[in-house]
Amino acid sequence: MDSAKQRYIELGDFLKTRRARISPSRVGLPEGGRRRIPGLRREEVASLAGIGVTWYTWLEQGRPIQVSAQLLESLARVLMLDKEETVHLYTLARQAPPVYYPAYNQTIHPMHQHVLDSLTLSPSLILDTRWNVIAWNRAASLVFLDYSLVPIGKRNLIRLMFTDSPYRQLFDDWELYAQGVLARFRAAYGKYVADPWLVDFVEELRSLSKEFDRWWPMHNVEKEQEKYKIVRHPALGQLDFEHTSYLVSDDTSLRLYVNTPMAGTGTGEKIRQLLGQTAQPVC
């Protein structure tokens, strides 16, 4: 057997073993239903990674398929690979390993999630350096988007800002706001300009969004800063926030974004009302 064919087979076998060790509950899927083998099904991995089931099946079967760094990033995130496993995955796929290793495991330290949950009326998120959404609180799900419904491989704030129509409609002056977000992303991009994932990500977004394609070559940059944010919620109407961000102390690749209701605007009461209307049942 030639080395190239063996490499594809090795890649397929590696993906199977990593898939088998991930329980559905770890990625937010129900445990019910009969499963012939442990772990996730192929179609579940494909859905979470945002790729086609047939394509992923061929990949596990060891067929000679070309894969991009961005796709490998999605698979590494869904399969919760550590740094060594990620390097192995990229090596088998004949791609340069990333120069930056995000936290692929979508579960953050319980203390950080507790901080998010304690910010009851403040929609809050934790993002990594690539602006992937790693964690969020209930207020963020209700005001902005239920991020649990977005495949892990596409759970990225820049992608949502430029490709998700309902998300775009939350902002009255979307163009101005989106350009500011893109400028802050561009500043972060400069630190990891050789990262293959980012190269593929930018190329894809330029093909998906005419605005992204038009603004990206302008090279506008902007630092993270406190600012006021206005959101136009479909049920609550105008919401006014003070937007602040903080580095997570034990992992500076993560940043906490907090949207605090502005005093005197009624925003806090509106969110309190929304939380009450959608109260989760007590078991």
For residue range 51-85, what is the model confidence (pLDDT) as tens digits? Answer: 899 999 999 999 988 888 888 988 988 898 877 88
Q: Give the position of tokens 């394509």.
A: 55
Check: pTM over 0.75? Answer yes or no.
no
Query: Please, are residues 102 and 128 in contact by the beta-carbon 8 Å criterion?
Result: yes
CATH classification of the domain holding 150: 3.30.450.180
pLDDT-derived band at 137 (thresholds 50, 70, 90) equals very high
Q: Is 131 left (phi over 0), alpha (psi -120 to 50) or beta?
A: left
Between CA 254 and CA 127 the distance in angstroms is 6
pLDDT of 281 above 80? no
Least confident range from 63-67, 104-108, 278-282: namely 278-282
pLDDT of the residue at 100:
58
Q: Indicate if 161 and 247 belong to the same structural domain.
A: yes
The domain in which residue 27 lies consists of 3-92
CATH classification of the domain holding 44: 1.10.260.40
Question: How confident is the model over 147-200, as pLDDT tens digits?
Answer: 989 988 889 999 999 999 999 999 989 999 999 999 999 988 877 776 777 888
Between CA 53 and CA 2 the distance in angstroms is 27
**Count of C-beta atoms within a 10 Å radius of residue 230:** 16
pLDDT of 262 above 70? yes
Query: What is the number of structural domains in the chain?
Result: 2
Query: Please, are residues 82 and 100 in contact by the beta-carbon 8 Å criterion?
Result: no
pLDDT of the residue at 105:
47
Between CA 262 and CA 264 the distance in angstroms is 6
pLDDT of the residue at 224:
81
Q: Indicate if 255 and 209 belong to the same structural domain.
A: yes
Q: Residue 77 is encoded by which pair of tokens?
A: 């995130």
